[in-house]
Amino acid sequence: MIAVERINAGLQTARDVGRGALIVRLAVVVAAAATVAFTVAGGWDAPDTLVLLAILSGVGCVVVPDSAAGVTFSATIVGSWLLRAPGGIDGWLVGTALGLLVVHVACAQAAAIPLSVEADGAVLRRWLPTTAVIAMLTLLAALVLELLARTDRPGALGITLAALVGVGSLTWWWAAARAAGPDDTR
């Protein structure tokens, strides 16, 4: 295929993009941009190469959501936090965590629907209740962990890790239960 044919095929695909797929991919763009912005603004002193890699993989999440771009994006953001975060829980970290959650859910949804789908609200809202509950649990865990950090009690790291594992396990279980269908969740 010559370059002109590829360009024409790409333009035809762009014309055929359905509203549902466009909304989901727009959510990926906004969430990825917000996550990178929280990372940069959070004072983590993230190296420029990690920020650039996060931006490039964020673009990959939009263009090819069923690729390794989402994992690369998440690993880059989490890696920059592990390498350079000053410690403690603040609004920047919570914003980053919520941004990663939305990127993950929107990428999964974008990978599951074809580009040409004219999705109605029911398809786009499939994961909204689960995502909202997980976001609320994330905010609650951040609040509890911040209060624990202020008390300066021993074992705070263990409690922090238990909270993270608990929210992650609940997320995994809930996603598996929803994917199994209503008959298997009793």
CA distance linking residue 172 with residue 168, whole number of Å:
6
pLDDT along the chain (186 residues), means of 10: 75 72 87 91 79 91 88 89 75 88 88 74 72 84 77 69 76 70 48
- Residues 6 or more apart whose CB falls under 8 angstroms from that of 29 comprise 58, 62
What is the pLDDT at residue 184?
42
> Residues of 91-112 as b/e, b for ≥16 C-beta within 10 angstroms?
ebbbbbbbbbbbbbbbbebbee
Q: Quick one: three-class SS letters along 86-112?
A: CCCCCHHHHHHHHHHHHHHHHHHHHHH
What is the pLDDT at residue 1?
62
Quote the pTM value. 0.74
What is the pLDDT at residue 124?
65
Q: Residue 130's closest CA among 95, 175, 166? A: 175
